[in-house]
Amino acid sequence: MWYGLYETILNAKNLVITKLFYPKARLVRFPAYIRNKQNISFGEGFTCGYRCRLESVQTSSEQCGKIVFGKNVKIGDSVHIAAASKVEIGDDVLMASHIFITDLDHGSYAGENQTSPAVAPDDRELHFDEVKIGNKVWIGENVVILKGVTIGDGCIIGANSMVNKSVPAGCIVAGNPARVIKKWNEDTQSWERESK
């Protein structure tokens, strides 16, 4: 990819900062907000765009969320990842821009002990469940991935999708909420439409 002079100078500055503070990463473009960086593991070759927000959320004096990036993870601009437990992202994952991934909710809205709307959202108890994204996953623009979701290896998450349930390996999902629309068939070596 070819950059203009201004972008080349910015990238050079960001490369120096990246190597000083995040030596395993390939390039972190600033401004970026990285909260509790000691709980965020950058795999070799990590690259991120501008205005990314990576948050390890501290829920108690003993509990702080972890974000783990595999090798060669590339994320676009304005990606927000928040972990109160753990968000794990595999190797060779590519993310577009404006993506939100979280393993937590403010309050409980199903089952027993649901949160009253009389409680201010910021005062509601945090509920969290790990998120795991497999290897070689491609996540499109404006995707939201919620707590407790596992995305299998080789999946494609369509733009503007909201993923609130786990996705098996080798699937294309899209929609709000996301559903499987195609699966990879090893025998035919092709993506085949999922019947409704």
For residue 177, whether the previous peptide bond is cis, meaning omega lies within 30 degrees of 0, is yes
Closest alpha carbon to 92 in 12, 153, 25, 10 = 153
Closest alpha carbon to 56 in 91, 24, 88, 23 = 88
The identity of residue 142, as a single letter, is: N
Burial of 103 (0-12, 13-18, 19+ CB in 10 A): buried
Catalytic residues: 106
